[in-house]
Amino acid sequence: MDAPVIEAQPRETGSKAAREIRNENRVPCILYGRTVESTPLQIPIAALNKLIYRRTAPVAQVEMDGKTWHCILKDYDLHPLTDRPLHADFQALEEGDRVTLTVPLNYTGIPIGQQNGGDTQQIARELTISVLPGSIPSQIEVDISELAIGDSLHVYDLETDYEIKTSKNQTLVTVVAPQIETAPTTEAEEEAEEAAELTEEEREELTEEELAELEEAEEGEDAEGEGPADEEGGEQEYQ
């Protein structure tokens, strides 16, 4: 997959140095790997934001002082209020060493169930996989066009060339039947339904006031069900 190039600069360590870096719209980072010595560096905040929020695997080429590392964005910290990146960890990839990372899902096709009025619900939007560096996918393509109403797709349904670390029972997508909205019942109707469900013994336990309220509710329901009485002789003609 194509990886963006990020121009990095060396940095000093310590909280004071980190604050100065952030004030310059840059992010303090660390780069490490099996054969790479832990290297503190800094990168533009805009470059890190693009890597965090792009809908592809978080792979990048980090360049500094004439050196280039093929990396993944392994971890990052965001400010709890502003979501501004505060720190990031880059892991250098080693040829032949499997790496674990999170890759976005890309659902393709329109489910049959949705075409028949169902509602498609995407439960998962990414998967954690273990893969060799040369086989990292930018996205995981998942065809959902054959799903009917009531069908679901799980991790165990996928056929891939890499090891999936996400639970095999994780639901990815489900297609549910459309919800039918019912008209809300009025308070009087609810009281009448409750009265109809009462047994004779339960009625005897009610106070006179409660019993009167129930009878009033029942009478109101009966009155709503009656239409206007037709006058004898049919419709009256007006001159």
Q: How many domains does one find in the chain?
A: 3
Please name which of 103, 105, 104, 69 lies closest in space to residue 89, comparing C-alpha atoms.
69
Mean pLDDT of 30-48: 95
Q: What was the pLDDT predicted at 238?
A: 43
Instruction: Identify the CATH number of the domain in which residue 21 sits.
Output: 2.40.240.10
What are the residues facing 63 on neighbouring strands? Answer: 7, 68
Cβ burial 182-211 (10 Å sphere, 16+ → b, else e): eeeeeeeeebbeebeeeeeeeeeeeeeeee
- For residue 136, pLDDT beyond 50: yes
Domain boundary residue, one of 61, 94, 127: 94
- Residue 181 placed within a domain: no
- For residue 188, pLDDT beyond 90: no
- Residue 13 placed within a domain: yes
Q: How many C-beta atoms lie closer than 10 Å to residue 66's C-beta?
A: 5
- For residue 51, pLDDT beyond 50: yes
- For residue 147, pLDDT beyond 70: yes
- Cα(51)–Cα(43) distance, rounded to whole angstroms? 12
Domain check: are 80 and 17 in the same one?
yes
Mean pLDDT of 226-233: 51
Q: What was the pLDDT predicted at 186?
A: 65
- Cα(178)–Cα(102) distance, rounded to whole angstroms? 32
User: What are the tens digits of pLDDT across the range 191-200?
Assistant: 656 655 666 6
- Residue 232 placed within a domain: no
Domain check: are 22 and 90 in the same one?
yes
> What is the DSSP pairing of strand 67-78 with strand 85-92?
antiparallel
- Cα(193)–Cα(218) distance, rounded to whole angstroms? 8
User: What are the tens digits of pLDDT across the range 198-209?
Assistant: 666 666 666 677
- Residue 67 placed within a domain: yes
- Residue 230 placed within a domain: no
Considering the chain, what is the average pLDDT of its residues?
86
Range of the domain at 150: 101-176
Domain boundary residue, one of 62, 94, 126: 94
Pick 83 or 161 by higher pLDDT.
83
Residue 65 one-letter amino acid: D
Q: What was the pLDDT predicted at 234?
A: 47
Q: What was the pLDDT predicted at 40?
A: 96
Domain check: are 10 and 88 in the same one?
yes
Cβ(30)–Cβ(41) under 8 Å? yes
Q: Is the pTM of this model over 0.85?
A: no
Least confident of 36-45, 124-133, 185-194: 185-194
Give the position of tokens 């960890």: 89
Max distance between CA atoms of the chain, in angstroms, equals 106
Domain check: are 65 and 121 in the same one?
no
Task: Give first-to-last CA distance, the chain, whole Å.
Answer: 89
- For residue 210, pLDDT beyond 90: no
- Cα(206)–Cα(211) distance, rounded to whole angstroms? 6
Q: What was the pLDDT predicted at 44?
A: 96
Mean pLDDT of 147-160: 94
Mean pLDDT of 166-195: 78
Instruction: Identify the CATH number of the domain in which residue 150 sits.
Output: 2.170.120.20
Q: What was the pLDDT predicted at 172?
A: 97
